[in-house]
Amino acid sequence: MAKDYCVLGIESSCDETGVALVRVSGQRLPELLAHALYSQIDMHQAYGGVVPELASRDHIRRVLPLTREVLEAAGKTLQEVDVVAFTRGPGLAGALLVGSGVACALGASLGKPVLGVHHLEGHLLSPFLSADPPEFPFVALLVSGGHTQLMRVDGVGRYQMLGETIDDAAGEAFDKSAKLLGLGYPGGPALSKLAEIGDPLAYKLPRPLLHSDNLDFSFAGLKTAVMVQAKKLATAQACAVEALPTAVLADLAASTQAAIVEVLVKKSLAALKAAGLKRLVVAGGVGANRSLREQLDRACGQRGVRVHYPELHLCTDNGAMIAMAAAMRLQSGIQAANEVYAFDVKPRWPLDEILL
Ligand code: KG4
Ligand code: ZN
């Protein structure tokens, strides 16, 4: 591989089509030249969640126009792309096939190699795209819609699992609680917005595994507790849960958020202590949560711990994190792009399969 090269990244694992171009120059941190994103949220909203078949079809519609947009914004031609990276998994099979199919077709027609990227590694390395990039080693709190994990990260591909959820992920806890309260999809942003006007101390909700002697999480019981509390209030007011007064729903939302955030903050602090590190990196969609950021900043500030986040708009799925993860893997020499255009995807793909 030449000293300087461009990596095109394509993300299509769920309900966002993302494309981005990064430039790698020697051992410098890869630079994001341009990125473009199309979110399918409006389309799925009517169904209360992601409809896989609709997602795949929409990725097909968006991916090439977004690629053109990115190349134009970066002032590059398709021929100047040196590697085509794509999300290989985990994710929705049909949706992944669109991104990998397009990436392999582009690679084959341009005579350029391709590289399949692990979606979670994309999230994990996304803070390197921020104005305040971290340095290795650090503890990572990875909080997405499907995963909640604490990891020790010593370098690209050098991840050691410290703890993870035994049932629902933090994002899932936000989404399911929001659905129960009639807040629609995607639940996380809706619930956190409503929580801003609510009292986080209004209802006492469980903090699962808060005092366990390991770094695992469990959020499944929380949604049940939210449901029981919401139904109790609705019965008392003789109305449906969704018809409860906004102030009541806001208190429930704020109390739910407080429970999730408290567990995430305390377990992150415990992980830092166990790893003996003073640097925390937060990644994944829930990393956009304002209350989580405020409380982590406060708790870590008091303990001399630096916290790094992805830029707000790069917390949820995007192409930039895929291009970046591919670039960092290539740069660190742990993986080479190849000319096998057999677009095999891995809808289920544990992160530990890519460990060094
Ligand atoms: O990382 P991501 O985009 O997708 C996955 O790889 O899963 O994360 C999506 C998750 C959803 O559960 C969404 O509700 C949650 O991130 N999320 C939030 C916020 N923004 C997105 N949760 C809480 N507060 C937010 N502001
Ligand atoms: Zn994601």
Contact 219, 260 (CB under 8 A): yes
- Tokens standing for residue 76: 């590059």
How far does the centroid of ligand 1 lie from the alpha carbon of residue 284, in Å?
7
Which are the contacts of 28, defined by CB distance < 8 A and separation ≥ 6? Answer: none
How far is it, in rounded angstroms, from Cα 182 to Cα 134?
Answer: 38
How far is it, in rounded angstroms, from Cα 140 to Cα 282?
Answer: 6
- What pLDDT is attached to residue 74? 98
Q: Which atom of ligand 1 is nearest to the CA of 172?
A: 12
Percent of the chain clearing pLDDT 90 (strictly above):
95
The response to whether residue 171 sits with its C-beta less than 6 Å from ligand 1 reads yes
pLDDT of 198 strictly over 80: yes
Give the mean model confidence (pLDDT) for residues 264-283: 98
How far is it, in rounded angstroms, from Cα 120 to Cα 350?
Answer: 9
- What pLDDT is attached to residue 310? 97
What stretch of H or E contains 98?
helix 93-110
The confidence band for 33, taking pLDDT boundaries of 50, 70 and 90, is: very high
- What pLDDT is attached to residue 3? 79
Q: How far apart are the first and last CA of the chain?
A: 21
- What pLDDT is attached to residue 326? 98
- What pLDDT is attached to residue 48? 87
Average pLDDT, the chain: 96
How far does the centroid of ligand 2 lie from the alpha carbon of residue 284, in Å?
6
How far does the centroid of ligand 1 lie from the alpha carbon of residue 244, in Å?
25
**pLDDT digits over 100-152, tens only?**
999 999 999 999 999 999 999 999 999 999 999 999 999 999 999 999 999 99
- What pLDDT is attached to residue 316? 95
The response to whether residue 134 sits with its C-beta less than 6 Å from ligand 1 reads no
The confidence band for 356, taking pLDDT boundaries of 50, 70 and 90, is: confident
Look at residue 82 and give its three-state secondary structure: coil
- What pLDDT is attached to residue 352? 87
Percent of the chain clearing pLDDT 70 (strictly above):
100
The response to whether residue 144 sits with its C-beta less than 6 Å from ligand 1 reads yes
- What pLDDT is attached to residue 343? 83
pLDDT of 342 strictly over 80: yes
The confidence band for 2, taking pLDDT boundaries of 50, 70 and 90, is: confident
The response to whether residue 89 sits with its C-beta less than 6 Å from ligand 1 reads no
The confidence band for 186, taking pLDDT boundaries of 50, 70 and 90, is: confident
The length of the chain in residues reads 356
How far does the centroid of ligand 2 lie from the alpha carbon of residue 79, in Å?
29
Which are the contacts of 296, defined by CB distance < 8 A and separation ≥ 6? Answer: 264, 265, 268, 280, 282, 307
Look at residue 197 and give its three-state secondary structure: coil
39 has which bridge partners?
A: 16
- What pLDDT is attached to residue 218? 97
Contact 4, 23 (CB under 8 A): yes
The response to whether residue 321 sits with its C-beta less than 6 Å from ligand 1 reads no
Give the ligand at the shortest distance from the Cα of 194.
1
The response to whether residue 175 sits with its C-beta less than 6 Å from ligand 1 reads yes
3-state SS, one letter per residue, for 274-333: HHCCCEEEEECHHHHCHHHHHHHHHHHHHCCCEEECCCHHHCCCCHHHHHHHHHHHHHHC
**pLDDT digits over 67-100, tens only?**
999 999 999 999 999 999 999 999 999 999 999 9
**pLDDT digits over 142-152, tens only?**
999 999 999 99
The response to whether residue 319 sits with its C-beta less than 6 Å from ligand 1 reads no
What is this structure's pTM? 0.96
Angle between helices 187-195 and 170-180 (to 10 degrees): 70
Residue whose CA is closest, atom 24 of ligand 1? Answer: 289
- What pLDDT is attached to residue 52? 96
Give the ligand at the shortest distance from the Cα of 283.
1
The response to whether residue 52 sits with its C-beta less than 6 Å from ligand 1 reads no
38 has which bridge partners?
A: 17
Give the ligand at the shortest distance from the Cα of 287.
1
- What pLDDT is attached to residue 184? 86
pLDDT of 185 strictly over 90: no
**pLDDT digits over 215-261, tens only?**
999 999 999 999 999 999 999 999 999 999 999 999 999 999 999 99
